[in-house]
Structure 1
C-alpha cells in the first residue's frame, strides 16, 4: 500500500473512532441534559471552534449571499435532522438500534434518487434494500414488534434522521463552492442554533444538572466528533477515493455498538451481530453506486 493510502487509512480510523464513541457518549449525556439542548450546545460551541480553525487555516468565513439558501438546506438536513433527530432517538433506543437505523441512510438515498433524479435502482440496489430491512427486522423483532409509544417515537426519529439526510444528499448533488472547514462551521452553527432554542422552549434544561462526567462528555462531543474528526475526514478524502472512504465509515456503527456494550452494558449478542451484518452489507451495496462527500456524518 502506498504511503498516501496508509495516511488515508489512518485518518479514516481517527474519524470513525471519534464518531463511533460519540454514540455511547450521547447516551451518557442524555442522563443529565435533554437531547436537543445538549446536542445543540455542543454543536454551537463546535461551530465557533471550527470557525476559529478555518480562520487559522487562511479560509474566509464570509460566504456569498446567493449560496445561503443551499447552505441552509444542507444545515437543515445534514445537521438539524441528522444530528438532532438521531440524538432524540437515543432517549428511547439502544445504541445498536439507533445507530443501525440511522446508518441506513445510503439505502434511502438510493431509493429517493428514483423519483427525484429518475435514477432507477439496479437489481443490486433492491438486494441492498432487502438486506437492510432484514437487519432492522432481526434487531427490532426481539419482542415481536410489540413497541410502546416511546420505542415507536425513537424508531420514527431515527428513520427521519436517515431519510431527511438522504433527501438532502440527493437534492444537493452539486458541491457548495465554499472552503471545507468554513462550510462545515456554517452548517453546524445554522443547524444547531435552532436545537438550542427548541431545547430552551420545550425541554427546559436544568443548567446545573451536569456533573464532572457530563461536562467531560460535552467537551468531548464538541472537540472530537465535530472538530478533530471533521479535520481528519477532510484529510481522509485527500488520500482515499470518496467511495472507499464512505464504505469505510461503516466502521462507525460497528465500533459504536461495541463501545456501548463495553461502556454501558448494552446487549451485544447474536441478534445484534446478525443485524449489523445484514444492515451494513445492504448499506455497503448501496454505497457502491454513490460518490457524494457527506458534510456531516457523526
Structure 2
C-alpha cells in the first residue's frame, strides 16, 4: 500500500469508483499475509524488489496501452528519484524486513498510520501547522502502537521491537515522499508516475537483496510462486490501476477513508490464512489506529 499524488480529481462518486476502491483496498490488505507466507521460502528484499521491478514493467505497458506518456522531463528526474526511493524503496524494504519480526496483522495495523506521519512531516516541510485535532489523532495512534508493543509481556515486546521500528520507518518514508511530492509536484500521468516510482524504488531493494540475501528459485514451492505472482500482478498492477480508476470517480476524502479497509482485510486475512490470533489486543489496536486515522482525515 502506497500513497501517490495524482492529477486533479474529476467526477462525482459512482458505484464503479467504489468497486475499484474496494478491489484496491482488499488487494493491498491480502498482500500482508501473502508477504508473510512468502518469507518462509524467500528473503524479503529479494522477493519484494524483484516482484516490484516486474510489476513496474507491467504498469508501464498498461500506461502505454492507455496512451499515457512515459517520458520524464529532465528537470523532474532528481525529484522523481528522491520521491521514488522514499515512497516505494523505503516502504518495500522496511515493511519486508518488519515482517521478519512481526505478524502480518501487526504490520497491517502499523502500515495504516501513514496519514498521521504525513501530518507530522508536513509541519516543518510545508509549513502546515499540526492542528490540535491531528495532534490528538497522533497520540491515539501511538496508543494503538503501544497496545501492539505491550502484548505478550516484556520478552515478546523486545522481540518484536525491531519489526515495529522497521514498519514505522517504512510509514515515515512514505509520508516524507508524499509531502515532498506536494512540495515538488511531479507533472506525469498517474499510471506512468506509478510505473516509474515502483521501478526506481525497487531496483536498489532488489540489488541489495541479491547481494546480501541467499535466494534460490528452487526454494519456491507452488504456493511460493503463487505468492510472487500475486505480489507482482495484483499488488503492483491490478491494485494501482483500480486505485487510480477510483480516484477519477470519487472525492478525495472518500478514497482516503476507503483505504481504511486495508488493515481490516489484512488482520482478518492473516487470521484466516495464517491462523494468527485474533483476540482483544489485536482488535483494540486495530480499532484505535483506525479511529486515529479517521480523525486525522476529517480534520
- Counterpart of 1:249 in structure 2 is 259
Match of 2:135 among 123, 126, 131: 126
Unpaired stretches in structure 1, ≥5 consecutive residues: 290-298
Question: Structure 2-normalised TM-score?
Answer: 0.92
Query: Which structure 2 residues correspond to residues 1-298 of structure 1 after superposition, within 5 A?
Result: 4-147=13-156, 150-173=159-182, 174-289=184-299
Alignment RMSD (CA, Å): 1.6
1:194 Cα offset (Å): 0.8
Whether the 8 Å CA contact 2:256–2:297 is kept in 1: the answer is yes
Whether the 8 Å CA contact 2:12–2:250 is kept in 1: the answer is no
CA distance in 1, matches of 2:174, 2:54: 22
CA distance in 2, matches of 1:69, 1:222: 26
- Counterpart of 1:292 in structure 2 is none
CA distance in 1, matches of 2:123, 2:198: 29
Whether the 8 Å CA contact 2:114–2:171 is kept in 1: the answer is yes
Unpaired stretches in structure 2, ≥5 consecutive residues: 1-10
2:155 partner SS:
coil
Question: Structure 1-normalised TM-score?
Answer: 0.92
Change (3 A) 1:107 1:61: same
Whether the 8 Å CA contact 2:32–2:266 is kept in 1: the answer is yes
Whether the 8 Å CA contact 1:5–1:240 is kept in 2: the answer is yes
CA distance in 1, matches of 2:298, 2:178: 15
Change (3 A) 1:273 1:49: same
1:153 Cα offset (Å): 1.7
Aligned residues between the structures: 288
Deviations 1:245-272 (A, max 9, x none): 0111010011111000001000111111
1:94 Cα offset (Å): 0.6
1:208 partner SS:
helix
The structure 1 segments of at least 4 consecutive aligned residues displaced by more than 6 Å after TM superposition are none
CA distance in 1, matches of 2:158, 2:144: 22
1:50 Cα offset (Å): 0.8
Moved more, 2-11 or 161-170: 2-11
CA distance in 2, matches of 1:253, 1:70: 30
Moved more, 213-222 or 201-210: 201-210
- Counterpart of 2:8 in structure 1 is none
Change (3 A) 1:267 1:242: same
CA distance in 2, matches of 1:150, 1:45: 34
1:17 partner SS:
helix
Whether the 8 Å CA contact 1:97–1:140 is kept in 2: the answer is no
1:4 Cα offset (Å): 4.8
CA distance in 2, matches of 1:270, 1:170: 35
Moved more, 147-156 or 65-74: 147-156
